[in-house]
Each structure stands twice: as structure tokens, then as C-alpha cells.
Amino acid sequence: MLNFRNTNIFVAALLLMLLILNHFYPVPTFAYFIILLIYSFILFYGSYFIQSNFYIKTICSAQTNKKQIAISFDDGPAINFTPEILQVLKNENIKATFFCIGKNISGNEKILHQINNEGHVIGNHSYSHHFWFDLFSSKKMLGDMAFMNEITKETIGLTPKLFRPPYGVTNPNLKNAIIKGNYIPIGWNIRSMDTVINDEEKLLKKITSKIKPGAIILFHDTSKTTLSILPKFIKYVKTNGYEITRLDKMLNLKPYA
């Protein structure tokens, strides 16, 4: 299995072999460059593709043959669209998971209460969702994540255990923070790209074409396009015999500490 530890061992062994070989036969400099280039590419892949489980095992789907899927929303709570999305879910009697950004809770406490009171799960999506979050030290990451939990607990009395990395980026520092904070990392296997795709039909087709048992779908409750297509998506899912279940129930996890 390709992961950070195995990759480091392999690359270190390969470089050592080249250094030993260089004592007997000249090894061109570009050979080292190519190895380091490939190593950098692997690290990039492992960092930016959460399903790779390169640094830490991340749950991106359920291992099941049941026609069940879970939907999740990132980046709220937001005054625009989150309440409307909650109304759609309420109309359809569907429970979802909302990975909230801590700084967005301030001023939107009522919405967070609504999410909780209507039976949805609240997950940790960091406090700051800073653009350079993945470059933070492990200690700073953990502090950021813990601050989001503190605000959530102050607001609704619950401490999230489910954590979704900002931008889906993972690295060794984040692995340490997740382990120290006793979080459960959650990814996805269907990314809607609803923050960049504005064409409703294109977005709906993209998502529905990838549905399979155990899928975890990533939406954003800050997206007008998602709000527009959500009723159609739910209708498609139900028509095709799928059940939308709460993520923690599908994965048999405890969502709060």
C-alpha cells in the first residue's frame, strides 16, 4: 500500500543504492533529480487526494452493498442558503452532516441550533479554514480545530469528533493533530464541485453518474447551485432505490465526544 512511510523508505533506499553505485560507476546528476521529482509528485498526490489515505486513514465511503448514501455540506453555517437547504431536507425527511467552520458560527448561532435540533450532525471543518491551513504546525492546527469545538460546545453543548480537513488536504502535521485531538477524519468519494460549477444540469449529471452504495457526497451549504439542484438530486436518488441516511449511522460512528 502506497503511504508516506513506505514511500520514504523506498526513496531513501533508492538514493542510498545510487550513492553506493556512484563509487563504482558515475551516476548522472539528473538521475537524482528524477527520483526527487517523482517523490515530490507522490507527496503532492498524497496530500491533495484525500481518498489516497497517504498520511492517515480517512473514511471516504462505507463498505456496504446496501443502497445507502450519505450527504454532507461544508463551510457553513451561512445566512445565505443554509436555512433554505435545511428546509429542503426537512421537507424530504432527510438527515445530513454539516461540517461547519468555527468562525462562521458567530452571528449564525440560531442556524447552528436549527441544524442540531432538526437531527443533523455537526462536524468540525476547522475554525479558520485558513488558505494556508495545511502549512500550519501541528500544534497550531490542533488549536484551530479545538477552538471550533469550543465554540460548538458553547453554542449547542456538543463536541464534534468528525473532522473534515480544509480543502481536503492532509499531511504529517495534520495527521498528528487528528490523532492528538482524537478526531475521526472524514472525506468523500463524490465531490460535487458545486463552488465552481454553476450549470445546474451539468452539476446534477456529474453527481448522479457516480452514485453507488456507501457513497459520501460533498456539497457546500454556501452554494446557490446546490440549493437549486438538491430537490432534483433527492428525487433521482429515491427513484433509483437509494436511501439517504445520516453519515454517522451509515458508518456506525459516534459523532460527538
pLDDT exceeds cutoff 90 at 1: no
Does 257 map to a domain? no
Asked whether the beta carbons of 136 and 144 are under 8 A apart, the reply is: yes
Cα distance between the two ends of the chain? 31
Amino acid at 155: T
Q: Are residues 212 and 88 both part of a single domain?
A: yes
Q: Are residues 173 and 242 both part of a single domain?
A: yes
Does 53 map to a domain? no
Does 36 map to a domain? yes
Q: Which domain holds residue 18?
A: 4-48
Measured distance CA(45)–CA(168) in Å, rounded = 12
Over residues 73-119, the pLDDT tens digits come to 999 999 999 999 999 999 999 999 999 999 999 999 999 999 999 99
Does 97 map to a domain? yes
Determine what percent of the chain is predicted with pLDDT higher than 70. 100
Q: Are residues 44 and 152 both part of a single domain?
A: no
Q: Are residues 11 and 103 both part of a single domain?
A: no
Asked whether the beta carbons of 98 and 122 are under 8 A apart, the reply is: yes
- Model confidence, pTM: 0.94
Does 55 map to a domain? no
Does 54 map to a domain? no
Closest C-alpha among 167, 170, 162 to residue 138: 170
Q: Are residues 87 and 117 both part of a single domain?
A: yes
Q: Are residues 131 and 160 both part of a single domain?
A: yes
Handedness of CA 194, 195, 197, 200 (dihedral sign): positive
Over residues 189-207, the pLDDT tens digits come to 999 999 999 999 999 999 9
Number of domains in the chain: 2
Q: Are residues 72 and 31 both part of a single domain?
A: no
Q: Are residues 37 and 9 both part of a single domain?
A: yes
Q: Are residues 18 and 124 both part of a single domain?
A: no
Distances (CA, A) of 78 to 1, 107, 186: 40, 9, 21
